A and B are shown apart, each in its own frame.
Chain A
Amino acid sequence: MHAILIHDGTAESGHYYSFIYDRKQDVWWRFSDVNVSMEIEEVVFREAFGGQTASTKTAYSLIYINEFCKNQLESKSVAPFLMGKFMNVSGDLRNKITVDNNTFSQQYERYMASRTGEAIRRRFNDKKRAIADSKKNLESLLHLPLINIIFHLDFEKKLVFCEWVILNQAVYDELGVQAGGLRTIIADKNNVLYRELETSFKTGFLTMSPKDESSLEVHKRAFKEEKRRYCIVAFSLKTFSDDIQNWKPAHNAIQYLFERN
């Protein structure tokens, strides 16, 4: 065996590197992008073995050489031969490779944005369907505006805000909360994901003006206040039904609600 090609990652992303056996010096070399370093055999075989639960590394190709090559390589050291190969590539070729890499990066970015956009659209539609189903099934059972801000906005007939929050939740679900949601995407009009979403949603809908933001904020505050009221009503109901003689905490709570109002 002459070399081992390793993939570290998943089917969707990761990093490729290789180990090459230096017959002259009887050592393994690790080639990872521009970094070249000596590696002990135990580590080489551990990373190549794969299947470990704690590691995403695994060999995907093993390179063997015949006797003739083996004899040739026993007289040459591998590392100086391979190190800095890219730096020795001629200017024209290097420029071509750089242009190719940039083109690839842009294509990749557009592809990923299209995939992410598609996933966000799917989540958005799924959520809308789930909400419509819940409305149909739970209307006689629960006080719907109490479920969450989406149901609250729907109840208040603020349908554009309602859909915007659903889309924002779809973005959070797809990209993670730390990515900042829809507001972060729309902040950069050159963002490929923003341009992708623009193909499905109107710009006026995606963009939140300061006036819209403050209006949504008012609705969020109203919803929080509604939840506080229902907390007190639920608490009072429970207090009265548990022991009607022990009415004082409920009375205090109701007075608290009156004074808040």
Chain B
Amino acid sequence: MDTLLNDLIKVYVLDSLTTTMQLVVSQQGDAAVRTLTGAAIACYQFLPRDDPITLQAIKYTLRIIDVGKKIPAIASLKSAFELIITKMKRPDRLERTDLVQAELPPVLHPEFEDIRTKNEEIADAELWNTDSLCYRYFNILH
């Protein structure tokens, strides 16, 4: 399970980096910063400090800055990208506002309540219900 969550975060970070580059090239500066911020938080808050993916993210962000320099509409965002790099490099200097808070999304509340109350020893239609977690997870994964 820990590997699964780690892999999910890493794939998300890599996807965010390439998406940021696409947004920069298509001159969508705000969306690019927003996307890269999510990736940076994932790196410094969820991954181990020396994880190679964080180094990859820092290097890729430098490339994004280089590409952005050549696009006038993006050039002004250089400082924002550099600040993101600083946060990834020095997670010990982060402020509370740089971190996301733990919060269970409201959409998951009913499902968590079902899990809490379910008597696991009573048979259910799990394998006959394609909305069940095992099928849903499979479908989302694919």
Can you offer 14 A-B residue contacts whose CB atoms are under 8 A?
A: A134-B127, A143-B138, A172-B122, A228-B115, A237-B141, A238-B140, A240-B12, A245-B38, A248-B38, A248-B100, A252-B103, A252-B105, A253-B104, A255-B100
- Alpha-carbon gap, A147 to B124, bound state (A): 10
Q: Sort A-B residue pairs by CB-CB distance and give the 7 closest, nearest first.
A: A247-B38, A252-B103, A149-B120, A256-B102, A255-B102, A251-B100, A146-B134
Q: Is the CB of B107 within 8 A of A235?
A: yes
B51 on interface, CB distance cutoff 8 Å: no
Query: Which residues of the other chain, A, contact B107 by a CB distance below 8 angstroms?
Result: 235
Q: A-facing mask of B106-142, CB < 8 A → 1, else 0?
A: 0110011001101011111011000011111110110
Point out the residue from B1, B116, B127 that lies within 8 Å of A147, measured CB to CB: B127
Q: Is the CB of A251 within 8 A of B42?
A: yes
Q: Is the CB of A141 within 8 A of B103?
A: no
A58 on interface, CB distance cutoff 8 Å: no
- Alpha-carbon gap, A253 to B9, bound state (A): 12
Interface positions of A (Cβ within 8 A of B)? 127, 134, 138, 141-144, 146-149, 165, 168-169, 172-173, 177, 181, 220, 223-224, 226-238, 240-241, 244-245, 247-259
Expressed in whole angstroms, the minimum distance between the Cβ of B34 and any Cβ of chain A is 5
- Alpha-carbon gap, A235 to B135, bound state (A): 13
